[in-house]
Amino acid sequence: QTSYVYGDFASPSEPRTEGSVKPWLQALEDASNGTITTDYIGAGAVVTARNTLQSLTDGLVDGALVAAIYQPSELPVSALLVNIGAQMTDTLASTGALTEALMLGCPECRTELENYNVQTLGSWAMPSYSLLCREPIQSLADAQGLRIRASGHMVTLAQAIGATPINLTITETFEALQRNQADCTFGSIVWLDSLSLGDVVRNIVRVDAGAVVTTSMFNVRRDLWQEMDEATRQVFLDTVPTAVANNAFAYIEADERVLAEGYTVVTPDADLAEAIRAQAEQDIASAVAVAQAAGVANAQEIVDNFLPLYQRWYDLTRGVETAEAFEELLRTEVYAHIPADF
């Protein structure tokens, strides 16, 4: 008999809640014939974005999304992947590549999570961020001098296109855009809906800024994992590919829903797109340097292994149109190769 509590800081309307996390918990109960019972405590009532890692370490919850962007000191290898997020412009490719790296290819990625009592089972990266703007920004010249709300790897991207990055919390972003304190924010298209940003900005400039990387979204705290019998662990491993695939598609579909709501969608001119790409390339070296300074000796090697993996998944997922097809791919490419002693 296993009791599994998943804590999340996402609001109930966040695509992952109904699209992936809750169905997964149901699937765990169904597939285990009642030997696994689950509880979902959402909306930040027990965990916040900043404390999920500690909550797993201490056993406050049994599973939770680890927002690596808030844990650069604790998870320097995950932070390295977060910092090269500008490379990950396709959500299926990055979700597949991150899951494979964490489960099979990158032992350093996994062990640093294990040191914090996290047995990771599946990863995720959001659909590529756009610039959500008050005015339609078309060219590099248009972007000159704009004030753009940016965080994480997008700070340098904002500087690269001649804008001034400004630092605002996510709850302040609405107000700042409304009152003309910010001209744009880097962000997910879903925010127009979920954060009501669509009330104040009507332009989506698709600059393909890459995504915020989540190295461990589906997981079990490691001490609980080690207490489980073989059959129970197998239930987790059998059901999680569906959840990973559903999650990626929940966000793809949410983006499509928003895009159908009549926003002005701008495809940027070549000079703007190139400025972003060029900076994204440069940022790899600084991400490696930051990781090395944080004690990740083989940071360069990790990146050199990951980027081809991303490309491989990019190619693999070109024909993938449904969550089922993506799930099948995850099963054959990743989960079929999990070692017996996982």
Partner 1 sequence: MNPELGFYSLGALMVLLVLRVPIGLALTAVAFVGLYLLRGFNPAFGVLKATPFEFVAHWTLSAVPMFVLIGAIAAHSGMVGRIFRALKLWVGWLPGGLAIATSFAGAGFAAMSGSSLATTAAMGRIAVPEMLKEGYQPALATGVATAVGTIGALIPPSIIMVIYATFAEVSASKMLIAGVIPGILTAIAYASLVAIRCLINPDLAPVIARRQAERREHLRGFLDVLPVLILALGITGSIYAGIATSTEAAGFGVLLTLIIVMAQRVLSWRGLRDSIYETTVTTASIFLIAIGAAMMTQFLAFTGMPRVLSGAIMGITADPVGIMLICCLLYLILGCFLDPMGVMLLTLPIILPIIDNAGINPIWAGVILVKMLEVGLLTPPVGLNCFVMKSTLGGQVSLGTIIRGTSWFLTVEAVVVALMLAFPQIILFLPSLMD
Partner 2 sequence: MMKHLLAVAILPSRLSTTLGAISISAMALHISAEVLSRLIWGQSLFGTIEIISYYYMVAASFLPLASAQLQGQMISTDVFAKIVPARLRPVTDFLGRLVSLATCGMLIWAAWAQALSKTRVNEAISGLGAPVLVWPSRWMLVIGLGALLLAQLIQLPRGIASDEDAPPGTGERG
Give residues in contact with partner 1 (CB under 8 A): 5, 11-13, 39, 41-46, 48, 50-51, 54-55, 57-60, 168-169, 171-172, 174-176, 178-181, 193-196, 199-200
- The helix/strand/coil state of 265 is strand
Which lies closer to partner 1 via its Cβ, residue 13 or residue 311? 13
Q: Could you tell me if 215 and 52 are in contact, meaning their C-beta atoms sit under 8 angstroms apart?
A: no
- Do the bridges between strand 203-205 and strand 130-133 make them parallel or antiparallel, or are there none, so unpaired? antiparallel
To partner 1, the closest distance from the beta carbon of 164 in angstroms equals 14
Contact 75, 284 (CB under 8 A): no
Judged by beta carbon, residue 212 or residue 250, the one nearer partner 2 is 212
**Closer by beta carbon to partner 2, 26 or else 164:** 164
The one of partner 1, partner 2, none whose footprint includes residue 156, by CB under 5 to 8 A per kind, is partner 2
**Nearer to partner 2 among residue 131 and residue 168 (C-beta):** 168
**Residue 325 site contact among partner 2, partner 1, none (CB < 5 to 8 Å, cut-off depends on kind):** none
User: Both tokens of residue 319?
Assistant: 């024909």
**Residues 296 and 80: beta-carbon distance below 8 Å:** yes
Specify the residue, 31 or 41, whose C-beta has the smaller distance to partner 1.
Answer: 41
Amino acid at 328: E
| Shortest CB 275 distance to partner 2, Å | 17
Q: What is the CA radius of gyration of the chain?
A: 20
Residue pair 138/190 in contact by the 8 Å Cβ criterion: no
Asked whether the CA dihedral 32, 10, 91, 194 is positive or negative, the reply is positive
Whether the CB-CB separation of 208 and 89 falls below 8 Å is answered with yes
> Reduced to 3 DSSP states, what percent helix, strand and coil does the chain have, rounded to the nearest 5?
55, 15, 30
Q: Which two tokens stand for residue 1?
A: 């008999």
State the nearest-atom distance from the C-beta of 178 to partner 1, in Å. 7
| Smallest separation, CB 167 to partner 2 (Å) | 5
> Which parts of this chain interact with partner 2 (CB under 8 A)?
69-70, 72-74, 145, 147, 151-152, 155-156, 159, 164-169, 181, 294
Which CB sits closer to partner 2, 109 or 254?
Answer: 109
39's contact among partner 2, partner 1, none, with CB below 5 to 8 A by partner kind, is partner 1
